[in-house]
Structure 1
Amino acid sequence: MMTSAYSNIKLPYLQNAILNIHAEVYSCSVKPTKPRRRKPRKVSSFSVFTAPQFGLFDGSNAISKPSSYLVGTVLTKASGDDNEAVSATPQQLSSNSEESNHGSSSIGESYVPLFVRMLGLDNDPSDREQAIVTLWQYSQEGRKCIDNIMQFQGCINLIVNLLQSESTSASEAAAGLLRSISSINSYRDVVAESGAIEEITALLRQPSLATQVKEQSICTLWNLSADQKLGQKIANSYILPLLVKSLDDEEMNVKEAAGGVLSNLALTHSNHSIMVEAGVIPKLAAFLTAGFKPEAKVIWKEALNTLVELAKNEYYRILIIEEGLIPVPLIGAAAYKSFTPNLKSWPTFPDGTEIERSDYYDAPSKYGANKVLLGLSMKNKNIDEAKEKAIIGRARQARLARFGLIEPKLSQAELSNDQFILLPWVDGAARLVLILGLEDELAIKRAAEAIANAAINEHMRKSFKEAGAIKNLVPLLGHRNDAIKFAVIGALEKLSISYSNCQIIESQGVMSPLINILKNSETPENMMEKTSHIGAMQALNLLARILDPDKEMRSKFYDGPVNGFKDKLDAARTPDSSNGSSTGSQTSLSEANTTRQEVLDSDVASRLVEMLKHSSPSLQTKAASILEYMAIIDSDMDTIMSVNIESGLDAVFQQKILSGSESDDENQQPEIYALQIEAGMATSAASRLLTKLLDSDKFRSNINSAHFTELLRKILKSNIPLQYKDWVAAALVKLGYVYGETRPNLELESPIPTEVTLYETIPRLIEQLRSSFSPEAQEAAVVELNRIISKGVLDAAREVASAEGLVPLVKIIEGGNERAVEAALSILYNLSMDNENHSVILASGVVPALRRIVISERPQWKRALHLLRTLPS
């Protein structure tokens, strides 16, 4: 490595001489310049956006053209100086570094071997420190200088060894030199093979590590992570949690470097699950929800790039939305040309609610100022935070659209259907609502789909309601484009999960279009069969949710605002209202009742019965719910009786999964259980419908009671989940009453009550004992169970013993109140009368509990003693 000419010279003396001669080139007192930032590179699956898209920019520069950059951009190089951009892609890194050959670097080329030799472990630590600092400065001159250093075999190991130096400047210089070397594609493997990743990991785990060392070390990882293979190595090590922790560092440079590594790692799909588990999403989302700040633009871009990559996954996208970010499709600047803001009309809230005017607005004015300054004519009123945010978001997005800054101008070739950006919920909801009002059909469809995907929680659903989404979506149900119709139905269905939203959707006049879609004979067949009935399912979900028979009962316990619709309905019920608005309220109620009466149409009923006979269990559930509503409001049952409702019920009750004909192979158990749940929901809804229909004399006179009784008895004994057997049991009991009433001369007593007790009541009580945390509920269940067994119901005791009900009984004996303990002991005593139950009772562990009762002489000690004597010793 060193020539013989230097073998007898003391290294410190030689170094000082060299530094004196070439002080202007290698001055050890000069600190290396700050790293340069890098230009982003294009990623084909995303597109360009501008910082003002967040709506967070100063009005002073509102008309200036912003600099644009790419969503999905990955900054892959972290070396440089003066914060100037350098190339980002691996190919550009290599080519540009080769061109960076400055003439000044040739001055010290002959001394590079000397400085490399000074890195040796046998040298004084201060000499090693001066050598590494000098080499770090030398490496800043370009690719040729780095090549001069790397031509000496083993020098990279000496550099890595200095990472753990006690001197902060030496450690920083070693990390900085590794950063420079790793910026060259061909040297990354050499750096990784030298153990640099492991050494940096150990370095970052030090709690008191200097900020400058941490920055240079993470920037080295930033360069190494540009290689996919090395990126996977970094993601599968202890570094990832350290990088996530570095996002909270006080120094912005450290945050930026950590964000850059994560952005590179996110380009590899296999790293996503590890990154999400490490908690990347909440940390990065915090930078975006805080808004765009010029001093944090690098970490802001890196966080956005990373989250956009993660948002490609459906489940990770949900986690991102939970953090307050909404994926908004990029539709191109040309689509916003049709945006026409209404600046002259009286202002309203984004959801369409008109703002009450003050008396000053109607008062005469000499100069007409009261008509111009509309905002000053509003009555002072408290606006809740949700409405305030909606107003702010609408104002931002409208201003950006008017100035032409909402999206960069891209050609159609640069746009694709999978391009999107992530905006904070305030701006994201307002942007999507704005897109709904444009003329571009593809943009409208994508916006409706984005609303459906983002409405995953109550906060988001309320945000879209306040932003005016419902007001803009409902009119689109009459659009000529079927794709837009289905997208709108999907969005409304998701928004209607919120009770207040459901009422507002109905008040906006959604019933008529939904009913027309359902009963229209010209509707293509694939509307009901498309993608596993998704389109029809969403329409039926929305219609069934609006017409839910239980909704009226739930409304009595709901006190939240529903945009005035609930107030109108309440006022309509009190026509003597003192505010004089009862007439309009009565009109609203009348209109609501009129639209609901449209459901009583034979075409609608016929289509619903066809769904009962031929559709999936999910659609059958919704169809049965709507038919139940029709049965409630149609006292004569004329519409339902005219469509052969019995055939639809018969089809639901005779599903194959209910007859046990499916395979019982263990590998299919999860699939079978899922099918049983769907079938159970459909059966429960159909049984509830049947129970309602049995109130009609006209229906009872036409139904084949024996046939439906037999079907329901089989369902009751089937393996569908217990929670879906309650309405089956209710319908069966009611059918049994009708059956006994129409055939009074039967010789045998109907076994229906016994079957209901064995297959619904007893399992339900045992489940209540096992799962309830309420002592009162457990007491009621054990007392009721004791009553059933004490009556001597056939096979009741055996059903309790075989249903794993003994373990909760033992727990009640050990810790229940006196009444519950008495009932539990009585049940066990009745079970012990059958010798076949002795082994099961002993296996439940009840004997120690019984002995404690006897020894402590509790009030039940005599019954416990009798039970102990009955059981075999």
Structure 2
Amino acid sequence: MFASTILTPSKLKLSHFVLYAPNSDVEILPSGSTKYRRGRGRVALYSKLTPQDRRLFFPRSHTRPVLTARVSNGGDGAFDATSQHSSPSVCDIEELNSTSSGLGSGYVALFVRMLGLDHDPLDREQAIVALWKYSLGGKKCIDTLMQFPGCINLTVNLLRSESTSACEAAAGLLRSLSSVNLYRNSVAESGAIEEINRLLSHSSLPPEVKEQSICTLWNLSVDEKLRIKLAKSDILPLIIKYLDDEDVKVKEAAGGILANLALSHVNHNILVEAGAIPKLAKFLTSDSEESKVIKKEARNALQELVKDDYYRILIVEEGLVPVPLVGTDAFKSFTPGLYSWPTLPDGTEIEKTSKQPSKFGASELLLGLNIDERNANIDEAKMNAIVGRTQQQFLARIGAIEWEGKKESHSEGSDGQRFTLLPWMDGVARLVLILELEDKSAITRAADSIADVSINEHMRIAFKEAGAIKPLVRLLDSDDDAVKLAVTRALERLCASNVVCQIIEAEGVLGPLISILKCSKISEPLAEKSLNTIARILDPSKEMKLKFYDGPVNGSEKCFRNDVLDSAFVGRLVEILKSSTPHLQGKAALVLEFVALTDPTMVSLISVDIESGLDAAFQQKILKISDGDSDIEDQLLEAYPVEVEEAGLAISAASRLMTRLLDSQQFRDKINSPHFIALLRGILKSCIPLHSKDWVAACLVKLSSVSTQTSSNPINAEVTLYETIPRLIEQIKTSFSAEALESAAVELNRIVSEGVVDATRAIVSEGAIYPLVKMIETGSDRGVEAGLAILYNLSMDSENHSAIVSAGAVPVLRRIVLSQRPQWVRALHLLRSLPT
């Protein structure tokens, strides 16, 4: 398609009165007439130009121009139309600028007319090449070109040319025109985007055409409206594909387009779904050498996407960490320990294998010389932490840290504070280094960033190995509430890892957190984060917490228990249980349960009016809306699923706590059992999630068994209807284990055969007929037997016949009868009871 011989201006030679175009078919005579050597085309204008005009339209250098797009510091994205041209030369540009104003519509008009469809293809090619070269003279030349309205449309048409030179020149001219803000919309409205999209779709597109075309899109993407148009078009996947192109200029332009598209928030979802994040992150995390331009554009794009909480997770998963830029002055307070025996970043001391100190301190400086390779056990995470700490401390000591920020513009967050993106090893080390500074604002931002990127086990372990735990725990004693909030938020996220949670607790975090929580004047967010962290450490449901019951941490049993059993702390927890949100109520109940397990006498709990706290936790406002109406409960679940879930978790935690407290005779004698039985019975019938009803049922059964005023039979029946039957049916619906299906079906059949009132109605209302039919078709013999028995009991009510038939029971039963399986007699009885 692009195999035509290119007639380039640089090959035209002036020899006496005849101009020859080597390797072409045209001989140009001084009179302006042409002589054809092989009859391919004509060039009628070159010989008519003055020497000055020839230099204007056909510069001596015919190398491809490079137009580098630059976004202005003001954020409007304006491009510099005169930046970094490799052609023409400086003297040519000076001549061009001095003569362009006087050129007017002379030769330019003639060349524009030659772009017409009625002209020979070779004439059109020479004209577009000349106009492209002319447009590189700057804005004045472009203004002259834009005086001819049809110029853009004719140029766009030449993007379909079979000549590589014509296509390159046409795309290059559009690139020049689109570099001026005033003419950008005109280029877009001419159909240039659609034509370039078609052009870039070709698998064998020459690199020079590819470069000019995609750079045109780079210019167009500066305009916000055109950004949205580009993002929603089919061209976006092509742009992302060109990030892998061999031509570095094409990769840079593709990255620039994506960086501009990311400036519009409405494009973020489109970019992420198109797979832009992994492609862009590769340029910042890969060890391969990449150009500074593509790295800068990739960073700019990702720094816009990282402002979104969800997209930040995707970027961190690609190995990048957002790090605040706190300024080089902040690092002046950094004082590394140069004369102490070195330790690992997490504080682990390294044993001295050499008894004699080095004369010049090499034993301290060159740590590797003092590690016995046979006994060293440094895993990859520790080695990465050592490398990251070494690099960042070195930059800080020589004053070069954040030095790159002086030359490059970095993204700003919603609060106007700058940040950059670093590979995770450097980013983690930099954040830990900032925690050691004196600047409170820098510490706050670093702690917040630690919280934001602690999204998985890998990152949490990385921060542990990098030594983040000790400074975070130390900063809990800060007198700055902003620092405390950021630090507790970071500790809360890090505690999601069981391994890191143990290290955090071992560093003595409970004491400072309990002191924070006992203060009634702290902000609600700080109280929430502190309580969340305490609850994760003391959660009795975790097996790792058995260490609290078996023995003390760091040998400080007395101190630890005194902190947890402090009456002011327990009273504060009860206060939270009475008046806070369901989320905090659930956390407070978990910690109070740990207190009950730690103090068998439960004196600390009983003395603080724990009953009123439990009463408040059981009476959730979201459940009062339904008032027992099943239709309203269904609407409630659809409209407020998160609120109902949180209310269920709070009630479940409070039920666990009350179950523990019922072991105390003093508590049993003190509470109003009928009142709590009524509350729990109402909750059991409510719309809270089924998994939250487990402890409610257990608490209700235990409470009724120790109460002398209530018969246990109604309680057991309600537990069966509202907790046991729904749980067994849920097991039949979701379990993939044959044994679990069989045991659930057998237990459900036992309940039905015992004649529990409304048991069959509860089974039907829970939607159990279809999964029962499916289990009969594929289950074990024992499970099939139980399922047939349940369906037979359900068939005794004619209202259930249509549901059983609709579930496909009839053909399944017929196959069992015809194959004479062990259950065929029961299947035949059920088949006879159904309308067939």
What TM-score do the two structures reach when normalised by structure 1? 0.84
1:344 matched to 2:320? The reply is: no
Structural RMSD (CA): 3.1
- For the residues of structure 2 that align with 1:365 and 1:335, how far apart are their CA atoms? 34
Aligned pair partner of 1:265 in 261, 264, 267: 261
Residue 603 of structure 2 corresponds to 638
Aligned pair partner of 2:713 in 723, 740, 750: 750
Which residue identity is paired with 1:864?
A: A
Change beyond 3 A, Cα 1:592–1:400:
farther
- For the residues of structure 2 that align with 1:266 and 1:771, how far apart are their CA atoms? 42
Residue 685 of structure 1 corresponds to 653
Q: Does 103-112 or 465-474 show the bigger shift? A: 103-112
Using the TM superposition, give the Cα deviation of residue 107 of structure 1 relative to its aligned residue in structure 2, in angstroms: 8.1
Deviations 1:482-502 (A, max 9, x none): 221121111101100000110
Which residue identity is paired with 1:534?
A: P
Deviations 1:194-219 (A, max 9, x none): 11111001111111111211110011
Change beyond 3 A, Cα 1:711–1:152:
closer
- For the residues of structure 2 that align with 1:376 and 1:82, how far apart are their CA atoms? 54
Structure with larger RCO (C-alpha < 8 A, sep 6+): 1
- For the residues of structure 1 that align with 2:293 and 2:220, how far apart are their CA atoms? 19
Using the TM superposition, give the Cα deviation of residue 368 of structure 1 relative to its aligned residue in structure 2, in angstroms: 6.4
Change beyond 3 A, Cα 1:785–1:667:
closer
Change beyond 3 A, Cα 1:145–1:486:
closer
Report if the CA contact (8 A) 1:37-1:83 is conserved: no
- For the residues of structure 2 that align with 1:292 and 1:109, how far apart are their CA atoms? 51
1:316 matched to 2:311? The reply is: yes
Residue 683 of structure 2 corresponds to 715
Deviations 1:413-438 (A, max 9, x none): x9965321111111111111111111
Residue 193 of structure 1 corresponds to 189
Report if the CA contact (8 A) 2:538-2:545 is conserved: no
Residue 34 of structure 1 corresponds to 65
Change beyond 3 A, Cα 1:137–1:659:
closer
- For the residues of structure 2 that align with 1:153 and 1:367, how far apart are their CA atoms? 78
Q: Does 854-863 or 414-423 show the bigger shift? A: 414-423
Which residue identity is paired with 1:202?
A: R
Report if the CA contact (8 A) 1:34-1:80 is conserved: no
Change beyond 3 A, Cα 1:430–1:366:
closer
Change beyond 3 A, Cα 1:38–1:488:
same
Specify the SS of the correspondent of 1:443: helix
Report if the CA contact (8 A) 2:43-2:126 is conserved: no
Q: Does 379-388 or 15-24 show the bigger shift? A: 15-24
Matches within 5 A, 1:366-515: 370=363, 373-380=366-373, 381-408=376-403, 417-515=416-514
- For the residues of structure 1 that align with 2:287 and 2:370, how far apart are their CA atoms? 32
Using the TM superposition, give the Cα deviation of residue 322 of structure 1 relative to its aligned residue in structure 2, in angstroms: 2.2
Structure 1 residue ranges without an equivalent (≥5): 1-5, 45-72, 85-96, 557-565, 574-585
1:534 matched to 2:564? The reply is: no
Residue 204 of structure 2 corresponds to 208
Report if the CA contact (8 A) 1:660-1:718 is conserved: no
Deviations 1:345-398 (A, max 9, x none): 11111111112221x2x1366776545644422332242221111111111211
Residue 543 of structure 1 corresponds to 534
Using the TM superposition, give the Cα deviation of residue 344 of structure 1 relative to its aligned residue in structure 2, in angstroms: 1.7
Residue 288 of structure 1 corresponds to 284
Structure 2 residue ranges without an equivalent (≥5): 1-30, 36-40, 88-92
Specify the SS of the correspondent of 1:725: helix
Using the TM superposition, give the Cα deviation of residue 643 of structure 1 relative to its aligned residue in structure 2, in angstroms: 0.8
Change beyond 3 A, Cα 1:335–1:711:
same
Residue 335 of structure 1 corresponds to 330
Aligned pair partner of 2:133 in 121, 137, 147: 137
1:799 matched to 2:768? The reply is: no
Residue 700 of structure 1 corresponds to 668
Aligned pair partner of 1:620 in 585, 596, 600: 585
- For the residues of structure 1 that align with 2:453 and 2:148, how far apart are their CA atoms? 57
Residue 826 of structure 1 corresponds to 789
Residue 169 of structure 1 corresponds to 165
Report if the CA contact (8 A) 1:35-1:79 is conserved: no
- For the residues of structure 2 that align with 1:424 and 1:368, how far apart are their CA atoms? 32
Using the TM superposition, give the Cα deviation of residue 829 of structure 1 relative to its aligned residue in structure 2, in angstroms: 0.9
Report if the CA contact (8 A) 1:449-1:488 is conserved: yes
Report if the CA contact (8 A) 2:175-2:213 is conserved: yes
Which residue identity is paired with 1:829?
A: Y
- For the residues of structure 2 that align with 1:822 and 1:98, how far apart are their CA atoms? 97
Change beyond 3 A, Cα 1:645–1:266:
same
- For the residues of structure 2 that align with 1:100 and 1:444, how far apart are their CA atoms? 56
1:785 matched to 2:748? The reply is: yes
Using the TM superposition, give the Cα deviation of residue 230 of structure 1 relative to its aligned residue in structure 2, in angstroms: 2.0
Specify the SS of the correspondent of 1:718: coil
- For the residues of structure 2 that align with 1:375 and 1:682, how far apart are their CA atoms? 53
Specify the SS of the correspondent of 1:14: coil
1:223 matched to 2:219? The reply is: yes
Using the TM superposition, give the Cα deviation of residue 127 of structure 1 relative to its aligned residue in structure 2, in angstroms: 2.6
- For the residues of structure 1 that align with 2:84 and 2:286, how far apart are their CA atoms? 28
- For the residues of structure 1 that align with 2:712 and 2:506, how far apart are their CA atoms? 52
Report if the CA contact (8 A) 1:218-1:257 is conserved: yes
Using the TM superposition, give the Cα deviation of residue 543 of structure 1 relative to its aligned residue in structure 2, in angstroms: 0.6
Deviations 1:612-644 (A, max 9, x none): 111111111111111111111111111111111
What TM-score do the two structures reach when normalised by structure 2? 0.88
Residue 57 of structure 1 corresponds to none
Change beyond 3 A, Cα 1:191–1:215:
same
Report if the CA contact (8 A) 1:28-1:130 is conserved: no
Aligned pair partner of 1:17 in 20, 32, 47: 47
Residue 38 of structure 2 corresponds to none
Change beyond 3 A, Cα 1:227–1:251:
same
Specify the SS of the correspondent of 2:42: helix
Deviations 1:233-252 (A, max 9, x none): 22221111111111111111
Change beyond 3 A, Cα 1:157–1:98:
farther
Using the TM superposition, give the Cα deviation of residue 766 of structure 1 relative to its aligned residue in structure 2, in angstroms: 0.6
Q: Does 470-479 or 775-784 show the bigger shift? A: 775-784
Change beyond 3 A, Cα 1:243–1:98:
farther
Which residue identity is paired with 2:72?
A: R
Residue 49 of structure 1 corresponds to none
Specify the SS of the correspondent of 1:326: strand
Using the TM superposition, give the Cα deviation of residue 517 of structure 1 relative to its aligned residue in structure 2, in angstroms: 1.6
Using the TM superposition, give the Cα deviation of residue 757 of structure 1 relative to its aligned residue in structure 2, in angstroms: 0.7
Deviations 1:100-146 (A, max 9, x none): 82448978984333332332222332332222222222222222333
Which residue identity is paired with 1:824?
A: G
Report if the CA contact (8 A) 2:633-2:687 is conserved: no
Residue 702 of structure 2 corresponds to 734
Which residue identity is paired with 2:298?
A: A
Change beyond 3 A, Cα 1:99–1:401:
farther
Report if the CA contact (8 A) 1:725-1:760 is conserved: yes
Report if the CA contact (8 A) 1:797-1:831 is conserved: yes
- For the residues of structure 2 that align with 1:445 and 1:317, how far apart are their CA atoms? 19
Which residue identity is paired with 1:303?
A: A
Change beyond 3 A, Cα 1:855–1:702:
same
- For the residues of structure 2 that align with 1:335 and 1:368, how far apart are their CA atoms? 29
- For the residues of structure 1 that align with 2:357 and 2:202, how far apart are their CA atoms? 74
Percent identity over the alignment is 58
Q: Does 772-781 or 467-476 show the bigger shift? A: 772-781
Using the TM superposition, give the Cα deviation of residue 221 of structure 1 relative to its aligned residue in structure 2, in angstroms: 0.9
Report if the CA contact (8 A) 1:493-1:542 is conserved: yes
Using the TM superposition, give the Cα deviation of residue 780 of structure 1 relative to its aligned residue in structure 2, in angstroms: 1.6
Q: Does 431-440 or 849-858 show the bigger shift? A: 849-858
